[in-house]
Amino acid sequence: MSGGPATSSPQSESQHVDCLIVGAGLAGLTAARRLASTGSRVLLVDKAKSPGGRLATRRIGAARLDHGAQFFTVRSADFAAEVETWVEDGVVDVWAHGFSDDDGHPRYRAVEGMSSIAKYLAGRLQSELLRPPVHASRAEANAVMAGADTWSVTYAAGSREPDDAVAVILTPPVPQCVELLRSGVVATPHLDDLEKIDYHKVVAILVTLDRSPGLPEPGAIQQADDPTFTFVADNQAKGVSDAPAVTFHCALELSRQLWPLDDGNVLAHIHTDMRRYLGGAAVSEVQVKRWRYAGPVEPRPEPCLVVAESPGPLVIAGDGFAGAKVEGAFLSGLAAAEAVLNNRR
């Protein structure tokens, strides 16, 4: 993660903070900003090198491909107000108002790929706040444990020394949060319910081409009921890539069947179907990306869940709540920060 640290060596030094947030996807970044705006000392850790989580963009040669979330919609007033600032700052704009039909409802794209939203938010955390959160990347939390006065978060061997925090917000996909709680033997009546929250697997195929595939305007096809590909997008036509490059998202049932296969067999399986969308263009490179936790099968209706209040609030958030998707992650992150603040008042 980029951005100026608030201590001399945030990557390795143990911290004692008001709130530790696991996960620097949209939910974690949103919670961090809200809490830090009140003057709280916040530590934001992620196991990945860069922030964003499922706001994911990959470079292949000269091409840039979104391979997690492809676009987002806006329904709530809170998210609309946030997105307005993203638009003003030139980070996102309206890609289309539908894919086969114009339904008048804007679908937003990130101008430099979806991961740039996270990079922009991480930059704002550092520049706007009096007490910016400490960022630590490549820090894989492996347990959350209750101490006498604070929570203690430990990490996979070698990634980071344990940290202490008055409050903790967990934003990984819910099954991964449950693992963290179970590893730390956190007693909460919510564990059984949380364990029922399942996530869809999605296999994505990323393809660079020698020329445009000529997909219909706006350069993408969305087909929720197609048995092979539910979304096919030309990243160049979308405006995020200098070179022709197509992202395919396999349908849920097909993704389930492909999941155990190695990449070669995945590609052999979808090769003929894939070619139908390439307009005769030659494939330069192809990669397979597997999303084990693409999205919740059924998100919880509440915006976040406070699973323990002692020694301080322990909150689960992310797109498993608040309606899922990009907007749900934002709203859930905001709600988790409010839950921590309310607990303090």
Find the shortest distance in angstroms from Cβ 325 to ligand FAD: 3
DSSP string, 220-231: EEE-TT-SSEEE
Asked if 325 is part of the footprint of ligand FAD (rule: CB under 6 A), the reply reads: yes
Cβ atoms of 175 and 197 within 8 Å: the answer is yes
**Structure-token pair, residue 137:** 């990347």
164 is a site residue for ligand FAD (CB under 6 A)? no
CB atoms within 10 A of CB 127: 10
* H-run or E-run covering 97: none
140 binds ligand FAD (CB under 6 A): yes
**Is residue 300 involved in binding ligand FAD (CB under 6 A)?**
no
Rg (CA), the chain: 20
Q: Which is nearer to ligand FAD, 166 or 291 (CB)?
A: 291
Spatial contact of 19 and 314, defined as CB atoms under 8 Å apart: no
Residue 245 beta carbon to ligand FAD: minimum distance, rounded to whole angstroms: 16
Is position 22 an interface residue for ligand FAD (rule: CB under 6 A)? yes
Place of tokens 């070698």: 158
Using CB under 6 A, which of 3, 71, 306, 307 touches ligand FAD?
Answer: 71
Q: Give CA–CA dist 195/344, Å, rounded.
A: 28
| Interaction mask 185-204, ligand FAD, x per CB under 6 A | -----------------x-x
* Candidates 22-30, 74-82, 212-220, 304-312; binding stretch for ligand FAD (CB under 6 A): 22-30
Q: Quick one: which of 33, 34, 249, 300 contacts ligand FAD (CB under 6 A)?
A: 249
The rounded distance, in Å, linking the Cα atoms of 135 and 128 is 15
Token pair of 267 as six digits: 């590609």
Exposure string of 99-109, with b = 16+ CB inside 10 Å and e = fewer, is beeeeeebbbb
Task: Pick between residue 46 and residue 112 the one whose CB is nearest to ligand FAD.
Answer: 46
| Segment contacting ligand FAD by CB under 6 A, of 46-54, 87-95, 119-127, 271-279 | 46-54
Q: Which residues bind ligand FAD (CB under 6 A)?
A: 22-28, 45-48, 53-55, 68-72, 140-141, 171-173, 176, 202, 204, 249, 291, 294-295, 318-319, 324-326, 329
